[in-house]
Structure 1
Amino acid sequence: MTWDVFNIMGIAAFAISGAIVAMEEKYDILGALVLGFVTAFGGGIIRNLLIGLPVHMLWKQEALITTALIAIVLAYVSPDRWINNYKKWIDFFDAVGLSAFSIQGAFYAVQAHHPLVAVVSAAVLTGIGGGIIRDVLAGRKPLVFRGEIYAIWAMVIGLLIGLKVVQQGWELYALFVAIVVLRTMSFYFGWQLPLRGLAEEKKPSANIPAES
């Protein structure tokens, strides 16, 4: 029951974030629905393809699909001031979704007896895959590749579960809380990975000296 609550919170948060991005890009209601659903479920679909789970399992999650639909529609019709207030909390709920989905993805891979690299990949793709698809469809640079510490927390989850450091139920809950706290601290304090860009080359002058 507790994991169901986590999943619902994560699905709602990711769905609303997709809808908000759609509104920021001035998409219509169809665009909001598409971005909301791919943000909420895209990571799980990629994970299923990666570790061999049936993709059609998505269609059996009627409660989560309904949750995402309601969240998207409510976000789309909400006054701007409500959305601006929600944005203050979206990073926290996003941390909840990241932690819950990454643990879920890693656990599925372990149950399928996949190697460590597959467990870590399943954790990462489940946690961040939907956000990457959302940003690509919205024509934005994916947030997770711009220095912010985000995917690292999903990788930590995958390693701890894949190496069987965390196995018991209470350990999973403790890991969930720890990652939510760390992710919240990382955006609150502005923790970032090293970021490097290449300097632009100077183009040669187009001025051609006049002949004497």
Structure 2
Amino acid sequence: MELFDLFSIIGTIAFAVSGALVAMEEEYDVLGVVVLGLATAFGGGIIRNILIGVPVTTIWTQGPLMLIACISIAAAFLVPVSWIRHWKKGEAWFDAIGLGAFAIQGALYAVKMNHPASAVAVAALLTGVGGGIIRDLLAGRKPLVLQDEIYAVWALIAGLAIAFGWSQTTTEMIILFLLVVVSRMLSVHYRWRLPRRSLKNKPFAR
């Protein structure tokens, strides 16, 4: 199995479960759970493909990944509620794993197509966070990537590491993946945030 395929599988499982859990939190029916799980697992890849020139229809050639996603969603839907409540404590882990795996997968995809470093970084960013944005929008939530702890930055860093050749071997890729996951979890634990400016309750000067 190629490293690209491994990260595709890891990301698909993590984000499919993440989407399914959010759907159940919002009390969606079984169809909603499936739709949200699939949108989270494949949404980032679709957005990436549009921007780097890959036909969107290639999504239909990913039958094995679709099957893996559906099995993951079914498992999340069928397990006892007590298990889900326990897993919810680790929801950020699913997000972090999906972020790291898909960021690297997206960057490798762009490298295979001989795109420049800027495109590789964007492919990593969009693949890593695109599914989560679609998930949050479909669930009626503010996208996590745009308003909470540092999130997208880790995907961008992973993309740049691959684009500039800092991470090339299998061992280096695995280390990069672990660094993204750990960095994401540290940002959750310590609530690291990017600078922000709020205009709420602050009247404009005239």
Instruction: State TM-score, norm by structure 1.
Output: 0.87
Q: Is the 8 A contact 1:102 1:122 kept in 2?
A: yes
Once the two structures are TM-superposed, the CA of residue 135 in structure 1 deviates from its matched residue by 0.8
Letter in 1 for 2:92: D
Give a deviation string over 1:124-159, Cα, whole Å, max 9, x none: 110010010111111110011113111000010111
Give a deviation string over 1:47-70, Cα, whole Å, max 9, x none: 111112232332222222111112
Q: Which moved more, 1:39-48 or 1:182-191?
A: 182-191
Aligned residue in 1 for 2:8: 7
Aligned residue in 1 for 2:169: 168
Once the two structures are TM-superposed, the CA of residue 201 in structure 1 deviates from its matched residue by 5.5
- Larger-Rg structure: 1
Once the two structures are TM-superposed, the CA of residue 167 in structure 1 deviates from its matched residue by 2.4
Q: What are the equivalent positions in structure 2 for 1:76-95 lying under 5 Å apart?
A: 76-95=77-96
Give a deviation string over 1:173-202, Cα, whole Å, max 9, x none: 221121122112221222222232113257
Instruction: Measure, in 2, the Cα distance between the counterparts of 1:147 and 1:196.
Output: 13
Instruction: Measure, in 2, the Cα distance between the counterparts of 1:78 and 1:167.
Output: 39
Aligned residue in 2 for 1:24: 25
Q: Which moved more, 1:132-141 or 1:191-200?
A: 191-200
Change (3 A) 1:2 1:111: closer
Instruction: Measure, in 2, the Cα distance between the counterparts of 1:88 and 1:182.
Output: 18
- Does 1:109 find its partner at 2:77? no
Aligned residue in 2 for 1:41: 42
Change (3 A) 1:161 1:144: same
Instruction: Measure, in 1, the Cα distance between the counterparts of 2:202 and 2:188.
Output: 33
Instruction: State TM-score, norm by structure 2.
Output: 0.89
Letter in 1 for 2:174: Y
Give a deviation string over 1:69-119, Cα, whole Å, max 9, x none: 122122223322111111122222322221111111111112222222211
Instruction: Measure, in 2, the Cα distance between the counterparts of 1:176 and 1:185.
Output: 14
Change (3 A) 1:6 1:20: same
Q: Tell me how many residue pairs correspond in the alignment.
A: 202
Aligned residue in 2 for 1:182: 183
Instruction: Measure, in 1, the Cα distance between the counterparts of 2:185 and 2:39.
Output: 23
Aligned residue in 2 for 1:121: 122
Letter in 1 for 2:37: G
Letter in 2 for 1:66: L
Structure 2 residues without counterparts, runs of 5 or longer? none
Instruction: Measure, in 2, the Cα distance between the counterparts of 1:85 and 1:38.
Output: 24
Q: Which moved more, 1:173-182 or 1:38-47?
A: 173-182
Instruction: Measure, in 2, the Cα distance between the counterparts of 1:100 and 1:22.
Output: 22
Instruction: Measure, in 1, the Cα distance between the counterparts of 2:202 and 2:193.
Output: 27
Instruction: Measure, in 1, the Cα distance between the counterparts of 2:37 and 2:117.
Output: 31
Q: Is the 8 A contact 2:107 2:121 kept in 1?
A: yes
Instruction: Measure, in 1, the Cα distance between the counterparts of 2:159 and 2:66.
Output: 26
Q: What are the equivalent positions in structure 2 for 1:49-64 lying under 5 Å apart?
A: 49-64=50-65
State the identity as a percent. 54
Instruction: Measure, in 2, the Cα distance between the counterparts of 1:201 and 1:187.
Output: 28
Q: Is the 8 A contact 1:39 1:133 kept in 2?
A: yes
3-state SS of paired residue (1:128):
helix
Q: Which moved more, 1:188-197 or 1:81-90?
A: 188-197
